[in-house]
Amino acid sequence: MFYYLSGILAHREAGVAVIDCGGIGYKLTVSQNTLSELDRASSRTDRVKLFTYMAVREDDVELFGFYTEEELSTFKLLLTVSGIGPKAAMGVLSAFTPDGLAKAVTTEDTKAISRANGIGAKGAARIVLELKDKLSYAGDVNVAPVKMGGAAPKSNSKLTEAAEALTALGYSRAEVNSVLAKISTDGMESGDIIRAALAQFMK
Protein backbone atom coordinates (compact mmCIF):
# COMPACT_ATOMS: atom_id res chain seq x y z
CA MET A 1 0.00 0.00 0.00
CA PHE A 2 2.76 2.46 0.96
CA TYR A 3 6.14 2.30 -0.79
CA TYR A 4 7.73 5.02 1.29
CA LEU A 5 6.80 7.95 3.52
CA SER A 6 8.52 11.32 3.26
CA GLY A 7 8.03 13.98 5.89
CA ILE A 8 9.26 15.44 9.17
CA LEU A 9 10.57 13.28 11.99
CA ALA A 10 8.00 14.35 14.59
CA HIS A 11 8.83 11.85 17.33
CA ARG A 12 11.29 9.06 18.05
CA GLU A 13 11.82 6.56 20.81
CA ALA A 14 13.37 3.11 21.07
CA GLY A 15 12.04 1.08 18.14
CA VAL A 16 9.59 3.76 16.99
CA ALA A 17 9.61 6.74 14.63
CA VAL A 18 6.68 9.03 13.84
CA ILE A 19 6.81 10.75 10.46
CA ASP A 20 4.58 13.79 9.93
CA CYS A 21 3.35 13.73 6.33
CA GLY A 22 1.16 16.72 5.58
CA GLY A 23 -0.18 16.95 9.11
CA ILE A 24 -0.75 13.21 9.57
CA GLY A 25 1.61 11.38 11.90
CA TYR A 26 2.51 7.84 10.80
CA LYS A 27 3.87 5.59 13.54
CA LEU A 28 6.46 3.13 12.23
CA THR A 29 8.33 0.33 13.95
CA VAL A 30 12.01 0.76 13.07
CA SER A 31 15.35 -0.87 13.77
CA GLN A 32 18.05 0.76 15.85
CA ASN A 33 20.11 1.21 12.68
CA THR A 34 17.28 3.09 10.95
CA LEU A 35 16.67 5.20 14.04
CA SER A 36 20.35 6.23 14.11
CA GLU A 37 20.25 7.13 10.42
CA LEU A 38 17.08 9.17 10.95
CA ASP A 39 18.76 11.13 13.71
CA ARG A 40 21.68 11.97 11.41
CA ALA A 41 19.42 12.86 8.48
CA SER A 42 17.06 15.04 10.52
CA SER A 43 20.03 17.04 11.80
CA ARG A 44 20.87 18.00 8.18
CA THR A 45 17.48 18.47 6.61
CA ASP A 46 13.85 19.04 7.62
CA ARG A 47 12.53 16.03 5.68
CA VAL A 48 13.34 12.36 6.01
CA LYS A 49 12.18 9.30 4.04
CA LEU A 50 11.45 5.75 5.12
CA PHE A 51 10.64 2.76 2.93
CA THR A 52 7.74 0.82 4.38
CA TYR A 53 6.29 -2.63 4.95
CA MET A 54 2.78 -3.16 6.27
CA ALA A 55 2.06 -6.24 8.35
CA VAL A 56 -1.65 -7.09 8.57
CA ARG A 57 -2.86 -9.47 11.25
CA GLU A 58 -6.34 -10.40 12.41
CA ASP A 59 -6.25 -7.99 15.32
CA ASP A 60 -3.67 -5.40 14.27
CA VAL A 61 -2.02 -3.51 11.43
CA GLU A 62 1.60 -2.47 11.92
CA LEU A 63 3.74 -0.28 9.69
CA PHE A 64 7.49 -0.93 9.59
CA GLY A 65 9.99 1.66 8.34
CA PHE A 66 13.44 1.28 6.80
CA TYR A 67 16.01 3.93 5.98
CA THR A 68 17.26 2.07 2.88
CA GLU A 69 15.73 -0.27 0.33
CA GLU A 70 18.52 -2.73 1.18
CA GLU A 71 17.28 -2.95 4.76
CA LEU A 72 13.70 -3.43 3.54
CA SER A 73 14.80 -6.21 1.17
CA THR A 74 16.73 -7.91 3.97
CA PHE A 75 13.68 -7.64 6.24
CA LYS A 76 11.54 -9.37 3.61
CA LEU A 77 14.13 -12.13 3.23
CA LEU A 78 14.15 -12.68 6.98
CA LEU A 79 10.37 -13.09 6.93
CA THR A 80 10.79 -16.05 4.57
CA VAL A 81 12.71 -17.93 7.28
CA SER A 82 10.50 -20.37 9.18
CA GLY A 83 9.71 -19.13 12.67
CA ILE A 84 10.95 -15.57 12.03
CA GLY A 85 8.23 -12.93 12.31
CA PRO A 86 8.39 -9.15 11.87
CA LYS A 87 9.53 -8.39 15.42
CA ALA A 88 12.31 -10.99 15.34
CA ALA A 89 13.39 -9.69 11.93
CA MET A 90 13.60 -6.18 13.35
CA GLY A 91 15.67 -7.54 16.21
CA VAL A 92 18.15 -8.89 13.68
CA LEU A 93 18.24 -5.59 11.79
CA SER A 94 18.89 -3.73 15.04
CA ALA A 95 21.92 -5.94 15.62
CA PHE A 96 23.20 -5.99 12.03
CA THR A 97 23.32 -3.78 8.97
CA PRO A 98 22.21 -5.62 5.81
CA ASP A 99 25.86 -5.98 4.83
CA GLY A 100 26.80 -7.22 8.30
CA LEU A 101 24.03 -9.83 8.26
CA ALA A 102 25.09 -11.00 4.80
CA LYS A 103 28.61 -11.51 6.14
CA ALA A 104 27.37 -13.39 9.20
CA VAL A 105 25.16 -15.64 7.08
CA THR A 106 27.77 -16.46 4.44
CA THR A 107 30.38 -17.18 7.12
CA GLU A 108 27.79 -19.17 9.11
CA ASP A 109 28.39 -17.10 12.23
CA THR A 110 25.35 -18.41 14.10
CA LYS A 111 26.79 -17.32 17.44
CA ALA A 112 26.71 -13.65 16.43
CA ILE A 113 23.24 -13.93 14.89
CA SER A 114 21.87 -15.70 17.97
CA ARG A 115 22.65 -12.63 20.09
CA ALA A 116 20.03 -10.59 18.19
CA ASN A 117 16.91 -9.90 20.25
CA GLY A 118 14.32 -12.67 19.87
CA ILE A 119 16.46 -15.06 17.82
CA GLY A 120 18.43 -17.58 19.90
CA ALA A 121 20.55 -20.48 18.68
CA LYS A 122 17.81 -22.33 16.78
CA GLY A 123 16.61 -19.19 15.04
CA ALA A 124 20.16 -18.28 14.04
CA ALA A 125 20.70 -21.75 12.59
CA ARG A 126 17.51 -21.45 10.52
CA ILE A 127 18.52 -18.02 9.23
CA VAL A 128 21.88 -19.34 8.06
CA LEU A 129 20.38 -22.50 6.56
CA GLU A 130 17.58 -20.75 4.67
CA LEU A 131 19.37 -17.57 3.58
CA LYS A 132 22.89 -18.74 2.76
CA ASP A 133 21.88 -19.31 -0.88
CA LYS A 134 19.99 -16.03 -1.11
CA LEU A 135 22.61 -13.58 0.16
CA SER A 136 26.14 -12.92 -0.97
CA TYR A 137 28.71 -10.90 0.94
CA ALA A 138 30.76 -8.74 -1.43
CA GLY A 139 33.63 -8.36 1.02
CA ASP A 140 33.67 -4.56 0.81
CA VAL A 141 32.20 -2.55 3.69
CA ASN A 142 31.41 0.31 1.31
CA VAL A 143 28.88 -1.55 -0.80
CA ALA A 144 25.63 -3.30 0.05
CA PRO A 145 25.04 -7.06 -0.15
CA VAL A 146 23.51 -8.43 -3.34
CA LYS A 147 21.25 -11.38 -4.00
CA MET A 148 22.80 -14.49 -5.47
CA GLY A 149 22.64 -14.48 -9.24
CA GLY A 150 23.21 -10.73 -9.50
CA ALA A 151 26.52 -9.10 -10.33
CA ALA A 152 28.48 -8.51 -7.14
CA PRO A 153 29.70 -4.94 -6.68
CA LYS A 154 33.38 -4.62 -7.44
CA SER A 155 35.71 -3.76 -4.60
CA ASN A 156 38.34 -1.18 -5.54
CA SER A 157 40.27 1.63 -3.93
CA LYS A 158 38.60 4.33 -6.05
CA LEU A 159 35.16 3.24 -4.86
CA THR A 160 36.44 3.19 -1.29
CA GLU A 161 37.93 6.68 -1.66
CA ALA A 162 34.69 8.00 -3.09
CA ALA A 163 32.62 6.41 -0.29
CA GLU A 164 34.84 7.88 2.41
CA ALA A 165 34.74 11.31 0.76
CA LEU A 166 30.94 11.22 0.66
CA THR A 167 30.66 10.24 4.32
CA ALA A 168 33.07 13.08 5.14
CA LEU A 169 30.59 15.42 3.44
CA GLY A 170 27.99 14.38 5.99
CA TYR A 171 26.12 11.60 4.22
CA SER A 172 25.50 8.47 6.27
CA ARG A 173 27.06 5.14 5.37
CA ALA A 174 23.60 3.76 4.55
CA GLU A 175 22.89 6.66 2.17
CA VAL A 176 26.27 6.22 0.48
CA ASN A 177 25.77 2.44 0.15
CA SER A 178 22.37 2.94 -1.46
CA VAL A 179 23.56 5.52 -3.99
CA LEU A 180 26.79 3.75 -4.97
CA ALA A 181 24.87 0.53 -5.58
CA LYS A 182 22.93 2.38 -8.33
CA ILE A 183 26.00 3.70 -10.14
CA SER A 184 28.01 1.79 -12.73
CA THR A 185 31.52 2.73 -11.58
CA ASP A 186 33.55 0.64 -14.04
CA GLY A 187 36.41 2.74 -15.41
CA MET A 188 35.49 5.77 -13.31
CA GLU A 189 37.95 7.74 -11.22
CA SER A 190 37.04 8.49 -7.60
CA GLY A 191 36.22 12.12 -8.48
CA ASP A 192 33.82 10.96 -11.20
CA ILE A 193 32.15 8.55 -8.76
CA ILE A 194 31.72 11.35 -6.22
CA ARG A 195 30.16 13.68 -8.81
CA ALA A 196 27.81 10.94 -10.00
CA ALA A 197 26.80 10.16 -6.41
CA LEU A 198 26.19 13.82 -5.59
CA ALA A 199 23.98 14.09 -8.67
CA GLN A 200 21.94 11.18 -7.30
CA PHE A 201 21.68 12.82 -3.89
CA MET A 202 20.37 16.01 -5.51
CA LYS A 203 17.48 14.23 -7.24
Q: What is the mean pLDDT of each run of 10 residues along the chain (203 residues)?
A: 88 93 94 90 86 87 92 94 93 91 90 91 93 71 39 55 76 76 79 84 75
Kindly state whether residues 25 and 9 are assigned to the same domain: yes
Residue 146 inside a domain? The answer is: no
- The predicted pLDDT at position 147 comes to 39
> What pLDDT is attached to residue 140?
47
Number of domains within the chain = 3
Residues 80, 58 share a domain: no
What pLDDT does residue 149 have? 35
57 and 13 in one domain? Answer: yes
Asked if residue 142 is part of any domain, the answer here is no
Pair 50, 93 in one domain: no
CATH number, domain with residue 105: 1.10.150.20
Per the CB < 8 A criterion, the answer to whether 2 and 52 are in contact is yes
CATH number at residue 52: 2.40.50.140
> In whole angstroms, how far apart are CA 97 and each of 3, 31, 103, 126, 160?
21, 10, 10, 19, 18
Nearest Cα to 179, choosing from 142, 148, 154, 149? 142
Residue 139's pLDDT is 55
Exposure on the CB side of residue 142, measured as CA atoms within 13 A: 16
The reply to whether 115 and 169 lie within a common domain is no
Residue 157: CB atoms within 10 A of its CB come to 8
Last residue of a domain, one of 38, 66, 94: 66
**What pLDDT sits at residue 156?**
54
Structural domain containing residue 30: 4-66
User: What is the structure's pLDDT at 170?
Assistant: 73
* C-alpha to C-alpha distance for 70 and 57, rounded to whole angstroms: 25
Q: What is the DSSP letter of 161?
A: H
CA-CA distance, 12 to 65, in Å (whole number)? 12
DSSP secondary-structure letter at 60?
A: E
